[in-house]
Amino acid sequence: MSEPKQIDVLIAGQGAAAFAAGLYSSRYQVNTLIASEQFGGETAIGGTIENYPGQPDIDGFDLMMKFKEQVDNLETPTVYSDLKSVTRNGDVFRAVLDDGTEIDAISVILAVGRERRKLGLPKEQEWTGKGVSYCSTCDAPLYRNKPAAAVVGGGNAAVEGAILLAKYAATVYLIYRRDEFTRPEPILVKILEQTENVKVLYSTEVTELLGSDETGLTGIRLSKPWDGQDELTIDGLFVEAGADPRLEIPNQLGLEINPETGEVHINRASNTSVKGIYAAGDLTDGTNLKQTITAASQGAIAALSAYQHVLEVKSSRQDARVVEPADTSVISGG
């Protein structure tokens, strides 16, 4: 078996946080590797983005390609395989990838994001970015002056999404499987009730996505009729059913998890509860605003912290090499 690859910083992920971390880490002149099977994270599948500074009206996939190209220009290698396990091995962390590759890294930055809860319907994945979205904050402006759009969910994100979307689309349907709201903040429910162009469909689920591969989404079928019809013609469907942080590796490492949010807890420097392990982006409780720009900023911060840890570890190794001969000579001369 070949020896594990020795590097300074291992970055898990290929989204905004990961690429920003890779950019800064590489500029710090430390040996960096990015590892993830999926390219682009949530941004790449989010459709058109209008709120990223300096890049108005850009497709999310194209934006992530720009991130990656900038990192590639610094010759930062990428391995298209996810982390399978990470354990401490002396003053390094032994990482094993799904493809069997073993890596010893002084610092690890976790930027693996969240897994969006899906409806589990046919064509949902294929039509993501073609009428199906998972981010109202990102994509609501795309439905300016559109006849109708729908939001699925019953938490804060769904209610906020419907309120926001109502500023753009003529009619917004908020589809919730229960018979009343119990999770959203009361003030949000009050605002929702005062938003005249939002129609709430309680005790209802989306059972089918309607459209074609050419047109994308054009409508939805409902589990029970509303206003005498079980199909709605809509221009866009926002699935705001929540998202779960990817905690497999954090749990292996015993990282502190925020009990209120279920996210990896970090401080202002993107430190986790384990020294040498850093986290950034949607995986963390660093901010409530889960956006490309905040993920990128956290990735940059994590890279600085990881770099400082690399210097600390390498300095301690040098000190050990200096001290050891002195100790040996004293013993042999005794």
What's the chain's Rg over C-alpha atoms? 24
User: CA 161 to CA 240: how far, in whole Å?
Assistant: 8
Cβ burial of 288 (10 Å; 0-12, 13-18, 19+) is exposed
135 is annotated as an active-site residue: yes
Q: 3-class SS at 259?
A: coil
Task: Select which of 59, 82, 99, 138 is catalytic.
Answer: 138
| Amino acid at the residue 123 | K
- How many Cβ atoms are within 10 Å of 8's Cβ, its own excluded? 22
Task: Give the torsion through C-alpha atoms of 230, 177, 152, 195, to 10 deg.
Answer: 90
139 is annotated as an active-site residue: yes
The answer to whether 120 touches 206, Cβ cutoff 8 Å, is no
Token reading at 331: 């013993």
Task: Select which of 91, 98, 104, 139 is catalytic.
Answer: 139
Query: Among residues 102, 88, 100, 97, which one has the least CA distance to residue 255?
Result: 88
Task: Select which of 59, 82, 98, 135 is catalytic.
Answer: 135
User: CA 112 to CA 14: how far, in whole Å?
Assistant: 8
Token reading at 48: 């058109």
| Amino acid at the residue 175 | I
In DSSP notation, 277-308 reads EEE-GGGBSS-S---HHHHHHHHHHHHHHHHH
User: CA 318 to CA 231: how far, in whole Å?
Assistant: 70
**93 - beta bridge partners?**
88, 105
Catalogue the active-site residues.
135, 138-139
